Amino acid sequence: MSRRALIAGNWKMYGLAAALGELDALSAALAQQPVDADVAVCPPATLLAAAAARLKGSPILLGGQDCHTAPEGAHTGDISAVMLADAGARLVIVGHSERRRDHGETDALVRAKAEAALAAGLTPIVCVGETIEERQAGQAEAVVGRQIAGSLPERGEAVVAYEPVWAIGTGLTASTAEIAAMHAFVRGVLGARGARVRILYGGSVKPQNAQEILALEEVDGALVGGASLKAADFSAIIRALK
Ligand code: 13P
């Protein structure tokens, strides 16, 4: 199978202008030791245009963290996929569990956002994942299966990120057995298109655990939160790719 690995950093609501120095450091590290993988950083939208200018000529891709379903309109405070693309983004995260939780985003809304991203020429990274209560109730696969069915666009190049909610920002990582089982399940749910869709793991990926996670059969990369904020940690995770 020839899916190209993708390591994406999600800066969440962290990063002022000074944080662009981390991008310079990351870019320098990759220039020194190129990797055969896609590397992306999703900074806050306020930094996108400046980041794009700084990264001119660098293989690092930029992404947004959310987008509206419409290309433009009277939606105060929202940002469209077209605007993200205009600012230099190539990808956008949609349906992150923090947005599902903080903004009540439903599967249908997430799918509409992913479709808007595709229409704007962006690759959507569609996030799914169960809570600890759902896992303990034996519902993890049912929840993730429902999220995929409801939030992944039917066609177009999308990426899926499996991020168990209980492993995000907690330092708790799912075990390699849990990750392997869920990724195999997701691959199955994707059916015929599963051979093309990249499935990332996210949830407390760190330099110390990246190698064993990225080595798993159905893991095509990682969506990294906290450890993507420092170029040294993020490049160590990228280097953990085989
Ligand atoms: P952490 O890596 O900080 O656990 O965050 C994961 C995440 O939510 C990436 O989108």
Nearest Cα neighbor of 59 from 96, 108, 11, 26 is: 26
pLDDT band at residue 50 using 50, 70 and 90 as cut-offs: very high
Question: Domain residues of the chain, as ranges?
Answer: 6-239
62-106 pLDDT, tens digit per residue, is 999 999 999 999 999 999 999 999 999 999 999 999 999 999 999
Give the burial class of 195: count Cβ atoms within 10 A of its Cβ; 0-12 exposed, 13-18 middle, 19 or more buried.
exposed
Nearest to 129 by CA among 144, 118, 107: 144
- Ligand 1 center from residue 73 Cα (angstroms): 31
This prediction has a pTM of 0.97
Look at ligand 1, atom 1, and give the residue with the nearest C-alpha: 225
Ligand 1 atom index nearest CA of 226? 3
Å from CA of 74 to ligand 1 middle? 31
Q: Mark whether 96 is an active-site residue.
A: yes
- Nearest CA owner, ligand 1 atom 7: 225
pLDDT single digits (tens) 185-222: 999 999 999 999 999 999 999 999 999 999 999 999 99
- Taking residues 151-159, report their average pLDDT: 95
Mutation to probe ligand 1, out of 163, 199, 233 (largest number of atoms < 8 A from CB): 163
Helical pair 231-239 and 20-32, crossing angle rounded to 10 deg: 30
Q: How many angstroms is it from 98 CA to the middle of ligand 1?
A: 10
φ and ψ of 3, to 5 deg: -85, 130
Residue 175's H or E segment, with its range, is none
What is the average pLDDT score of the chain? 96
Q: How far, in Å, are 62, 169, 177, 204 from residue 182 at the CA level?
A: 27, 19, 9, 16
**CA 101 – ligand 1 centroid, Å:** 14
d(CA 159, CA 182): 15
Which two structure tokens, joined as six digits, stand for 22? Answer: 């981390």
Closest CA to 42 of 15, 76, 82, 71: 15
Task: Name the residue at shortest CA distance from atom 5 of ligand 1.
Answer: 225
What CATH class is the domain 6-239? alpha beta
Residues 105 and 144 sit within 8 Å (Cβ to Cβ): no
Which amino acid does the sequence have at 36?
A: D
Instruction: Give the pLDDT confidence of 55-65 residue by residue, as tens digits.
Output: 999 999 999 99
The set of protein residues with a Cβ atom below 6 angstroms from ligand 1 is: 10, 96, 163, 168-169, 202-205, 223-227
pLDDT at position 1 is 52
